Amino acid sequence: MTNRFLRRFATLAATAALAAGAVTASTGTAEAALPTPVSAATARGYLAQLTVKTEDRTGYSRDLFPTWITISGTCNTRETVLKRDGSNVVTDASCAATSGTWVSAYDGVTITSASGLDIDHIVPLAEAWDSGASAWTTAQRQAFANDVTRPQLLAVSASTNRSKGDKDPAEWLPPVTGYRCTYVRAWVQVKYYYSLSVDAAEKAALTNVLAGC
């Protein structure tokens, strides 16, 4: 594990706390709400620095990435992202969204019930495990799974999140082609921040999309 990742993990709790204060507004759209990823040029530079290696899913379990945790007050990670990513979101005393409107950036679908939304991990938990997170502590995996500071969590339609599953960009990209550049920029930024590797097909797909950004 690199010193870069260790230094970043040491400050993650503090930055997450700051982010919680920054995402309490209840207006916006899914496309605008994802923390802005690095530029395409920066993403290309990051991608060139990522280690390329074969992935290994041995021992993976979603339970090794605890979700969801309390972010602020009574709001957990899911509720925080729902509040951030929707327009006119109303929440009850427990911070559950009772009404609002969300535009799913992956497929352009407008959703008016929180039950129709999943919180997608841009870099899926299983993908993170395959590419380095198997060596992390539980606390590090929890921080990754609940990161509201990096462009890692996004409220999207349940159907597109489930069609994506744990696929990487060589296997799945958002159906809305205009969102793909944002998506791969976010993917590369998260992988770089957490010192995760990429496999050869994944790198080729990322390179291809970034070339057109």
Asked whether the beta carbons of 115 and 86 are under 8 A apart, the reply is no
The DSSP bridge partners found for residue 117 are 157
pLDDT (tens digit per residue) in 9-37: 444 433 333 333 333 333 334 445 899 99
Respond yes or no on whether the N-terminal peptide bond of residue 68 is cis (omega within 30° of 0): yes
Residue 109 tokens, joined:
């679908």
How confident is the model over 60-102, as pLDDT tens digits? 999 999 999 999 999 999 999 999 999 999 999 999 999 999 9
Contact 67, 56 (CB under 8 A): no
* pTM confidence score: 0.86
